[in-house]
Amino acid sequence: MTTKIIAHRGASKLAPENTMFAFELAYKLGAEGLETDVQLTKDHIPVLIHDETLTRTTNGRGYVKDYTYKELLRLDAGSWFSREFKQAKLLSLEQFLVWIKPKDLSLNLELKNNKIDYHQLESIVYNMLKEHKLIKRTTLSTFNPNSVKRLSELDNDIEIAFLTSKKNINLIEYASSLGANAIHIKYRLLNRQLQEQALANNMPIRVYTINKYKQMMNCYEHQVAGIFTDVPHKALTFRNVYQFKREL
């Protein structure tokens, strides 16, 4: 199995995360998939931002949920990273899906509902994906067990990943009981036994957030389904190195 390179919030070491600058750059660098985070505005528009609050990645303050999308569009979402990106704006999920649809990229949408359990986030996102005919290219992931259950009730065919950083000897069984059919784990949880259990249950493992050479090579050795990385160009280079060494 070839491990897929998924750009974490875009090429987020090189451009402001979850902005079109980061997504465009990841695509140009050869990423095979994109990962981004979804939250809901006051007027129930899904937007791409990791934090529940605006402070870290915009010049705004307060919670995303307390602003309309039109209000959020006034914010600068790039200068925190570099003045070069001062034109960056928060993106709606709708804008992003229109952009990604014609491109040969897989999509991972992380529903950010483990701290704020947004009402109907699952169905809003699912219906938008269905409208754009992107269900088969998309994985929906979340740390929220109840959200996994709700997603599984929407569609048996969509890939649903349970996200976790917690050690659990019965992780595959637990994730499956929630309705997940994939797991996304923190790197320290990766081991041969877990990978074997996942393969036996036809459950892909993807690992976050992998930016270092040794971690990448270990993931390739374990043949995980994918890695989430802020540096997709490096991950691709090191995967080529790994494949070359295996052929020697």
CA trace torsion 150, 153, 155, 161 (10° rounding) = 40
Enclosing H/E stretch for 4: strand 4-8
Q: How many CA atoms lie within 13 A of 170 on its CB side?
A: 5
CA trace torsion 209, 212, 218, 224 (10° rounding) = 30
- Cβ–Cβ < 8 Å for 25, 34: no
Among 44, 50, 132, 222, the one annotated catalytic: 50
Q: Does the annotation count 8 as an active-site position?
A: yes
Among 8, 119, 184, 233, the one annotated catalytic: 8
- Cβ–Cβ < 8 Å for 81, 13: no
Q: Tell me the C-alpha distance between 242 and 248, whole Å.
A: 10
- Cβ–Cβ < 8 Å for 123, 89: no
Q: Tell me the C-alpha distance between 36 and 44, whole Å.
A: 18
DSSP 37: E
If one counts every other C-beta atom within 10 angstroms of the C-beta of residue 19, the result is 26
Residues belonging to the active site: 8, 50
